[in-house]
């Protein structure tokens, strides 16, 4: 019983330095900034350095000793030095026995070494309690106190007590610790500061590729084609008219791409008859960046809305409108009021406004502060049901807008359809498949697969059938 208690209850008695004394090895940029922050937060700081007498620029009021002397006085030691200098610590293994060593180091490249720096340190000093922390905060941010970027400090260690002790120090310096588990997580924690928007990369590439393609396609079909076959110069389309085609088209394509992997996943599950098998890698990657794809799509929809609002104040538009009126006066011939055109324009505007409204709603619910306030089922309802409704409304908006210029009615050749016809391909595929997938028999089959039907025993299956109404 005694043994059990001693394992469970954190024994803090040997770490009495809380808000007291902390040792930092290394008087470089990070060591100095961290020392200053610790002093400001009420800790006393002792530096361990190779040349204690030659050290300058350390904060006032701190002691600078050699490594062994400094380590003896504290039980928590921050190693503010680079990994390639860790080897000398082996000589101090006696004095570092049982001490908490905080590894703050970063690398120059992702996965630079076979093992993480923290695991390497633990292998050199098996008797010490290695904790990975503070590597995500920059020296400049610690010193200036502005901490523009994240205030989060990831902490991981194989020793729970040591980890919680360091997490308390993190809190003591006004930062927010995040427990990342054991030292196995150290590699990810070390890679974190080296990443540059990893989840945004694929969506950005897709978005840039589609934008360039649609823009060039529009220039070719609208400007070059008109110049060659109709001998008219409409190059002024390039600044407003064409972007106002590119943004909605790419936005619609991206929104459809958010829902396409879900359709693929359902088809794969149907085909394999089980959910217990991995999706192809590309599908996994694609699924993971759906939120980012959706947000880029929303940004493009915003641009489309703004570009559309300026149409009435464009010179070319008001010139054409005024000219139309003058023509009618001159010829003494009033154009008839076309009911079909009124209905068409009101319909696509209504679809567009509603589609945009739901688009914004989707964007807002994906913000962490909002998504934290809804449960999983509510989140799924908004992102899935409202998402498909948005896609449906936006597709309908594009279809009604381009109705008379559709494919065969196109003034272009059949092999050069207007760009928005291309834009409709992916949304139509998604919507048609979604429609097929929600038909009762297929929907039931997918639900069975998702609930692991094959793996259930007969009695389990019976119970399941009774509870069928409760199924998702």
Ligand X SMILES: NC(=O)C1=CN([C@@H]2O[C@H](COP(=O)(O)OP(=O)(O)OC[C@H]3O[C@@H](n4cnc5c(N)ncnc54)[C@H](OP(=O)(O)O)[C@@H]3O)[C@@H](O)[C@H]2O)C=CC1
Candidate residues 80, 102, 130, 255; the one interacting with ligand X per rule CB under 6 A: 80
Say how many C-beta atoms besides its own lie within 10 A of residue 273's C-beta: 12
Candidate residues 17, 27, 100, 187; the one interacting with ligand X per rule CB under 6 A: 27
Q: Which residues pair with 23 in a beta bridge?
A: 46, 77
| Integer Cα distance of 131 and 158 in angstroms | 8
From the list Fe ion, ligand X, none, pick the one residue 104 interacts with, judged by a Cβ distance below 5 to 8 Å according to partner type.
ligand X
- Residue 85 touching ligand X (CB under 6 A): yes
- Residue 169 touching ligand X (CB under 6 A): no
Candidate residues 82, 151, 291, 344; the one interacting with ligand X per rule CB under 6 A: 82
In the complex, the residues that contact Fe ion under the rule CB under 5 A are 248, 352
What sign results for the dihedral spanned by CA atoms 263, 268, 270, 271?
Answer: positive
163 token code pair = 């980890």
What are the distances in angstroms from CA 137 to CA 42, 181, 225, 357? Answer: 19, 19, 55, 39
Candidate residues 75, 106, 292, 421; the one interacting with ligand X per rule CB under 6 A: 106
CB of 136 to ligand X, least distance (A): 7
Candidate residues 26, 203, 352, 387; the one interacting with ligand X per rule CB under 6 A: 26
From the list Fe ion, ligand X, none, pick the one residue 248 interacts with, judged by a Cβ distance below 5 to 8 Å according to partner type.
Fe ion
Which positions from 129 to 168 touch ligand X by CB under 6 A, shown as an x/- string? ------x--xx-----------------------------
Candidate residues 46, 76, 104, 133; the one interacting with ligand X per rule CB under 6 A: 104
Candidate residues 18, 21, 50, 151; the one interacting with ligand X per rule CB under 6 A: 50
Query: Cβ-count burial of 77 within 10 angstroms (0-12 exposed, 13-18 middle, 19+ buried)?
Result: buried
CB 391 within 8 A of CB 260: no
Q: Which residues pair with 342 in a beta bridge?
A: none
Q: CB neighbours of 266 closer than 8 A, spacing ≥ 6?
A: 437, 446
CB of 75 to ligand X, least distance (A): 20
Angle between helices 281-288 and 290-309 (to 10 degrees): 50
Query: Which residue stretch of 22-30, 70-78, 209-217, 353-361 sits at the interface with ligand X (rule: CB under 6 A)?
Result: 22-30
What are the distances in angstroms from CA 422 to CA 138, 217, 396, 407, 456? Answer: 47, 10, 14, 10, 45
Candidate residues 81, 133, 207, 222; the one interacting with ligand X per rule CB under 6 A: 81
For residues 64 and 394, which CB has a smaller minimum distance to ligand X in the complex? 64
Q: Please name the helix (run of DSSP H) or strand (run of DSSP E) that holds residue 429, with its range, or none.
A: helix 425-437
For ligand X, how many residues bind (rule: CB under 6 A)? 20
Q: What does the binding site for ligand X look like in residue numbers (CB under 6 A)?
A: 26-31, 49-50, 55, 80-82, 85, 88, 104-106, 135, 138-139
């Amino acid at each position: 019983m005694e043994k059990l208690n001693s394992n469970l209850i954190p024994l803090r008695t040997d770490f009495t330095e809380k808000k007291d004394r902390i040792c930092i090895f290394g008087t470089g940029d990070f060591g100095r900034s961290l020392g200053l922050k610790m002093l400001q937060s009420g800790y006393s700081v002792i530096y361990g350095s190779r040349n204690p007498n030659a050290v300058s620029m350390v904060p006032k009021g701190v002691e600078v000793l050699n490594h062994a002397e400094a380590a003896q006085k504290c039980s928590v030691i921050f190693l503010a030095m680079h990994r390639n200098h860790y080897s000398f610590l082996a000589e101090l293994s006696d004095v570092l026995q049982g001490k908490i060593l905080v590894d703050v180091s970063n690398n120059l490249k992702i996965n630079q070494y076979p093992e993480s720096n923290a695991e390497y340190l633990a292998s050199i000093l098996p008797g010490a309690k290695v904790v990975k922390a503070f590597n995500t905060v920059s020296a400049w941010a610690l010193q200036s106190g502005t901490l523009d970027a994240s205030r989060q400090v990831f902490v991981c260690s194989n020793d729970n007590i040591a980890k919680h002790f360091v997490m308390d120090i993190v809190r003591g310096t006004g930062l927010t610790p995040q427990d990342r588990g054991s030292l196995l997580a150290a590699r990810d924690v070390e890679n974190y500061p080296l990443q540059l928007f990893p989840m945004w990369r694929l969506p950005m590439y897709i978005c840039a590729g589609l934008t360039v393609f649609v823009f060039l396609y529009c220039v070719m079909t609208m400007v070059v084609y008109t110049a060659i076959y109709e001998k008219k110069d409409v190059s002024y389309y390039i600044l407003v008219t064409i972007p106002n085609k590119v943004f909605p088209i790419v936005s619609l394509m991206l929104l459809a791409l958010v829902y396409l992997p879900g359709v693929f996943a359902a088809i794969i599950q149907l085909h394999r008859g089980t959910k217990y098998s991995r999706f192809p890698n590309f599908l996994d990657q694609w699924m993971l960046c759906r939120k980012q794809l959706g947000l880029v799509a929303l940004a493009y929809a915003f641009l489309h809305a703004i570009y559309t609002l300026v149409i009435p104040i464009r010179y070319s538009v008001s010139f054409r409108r005024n000219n139309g009126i003058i023509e009618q006066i001159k010829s003494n011939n009033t154009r008839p009021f076309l009911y079909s055109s009124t209905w068409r324009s009101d319909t696509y505007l209504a679809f567009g406004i509603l589609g945009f409204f739901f688009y914004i709603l989707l964007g807002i619910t994906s913000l962490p502060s909002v998504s934290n306030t809804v449960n999983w089922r509510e989140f799924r309802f908004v992102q899935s049901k409202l998402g498909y409704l948005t896609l449906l409304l936006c597709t309908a908006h594009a279809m009604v807008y381009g109705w008379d210029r559709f494919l065969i009615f196109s003034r272009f050749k059949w092999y050069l359809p207007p760009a928005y016809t291309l834009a409709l391909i992916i949304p139509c595929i998604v919507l048609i498949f979604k429609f097929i997938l929600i038909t009762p028999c297929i929907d039931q089959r997918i639900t069975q697969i998702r609930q692991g039907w094959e793996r259930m025993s007969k009695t389990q299956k019976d119970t399941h059938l009774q509870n069928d109404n409760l199924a998702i």
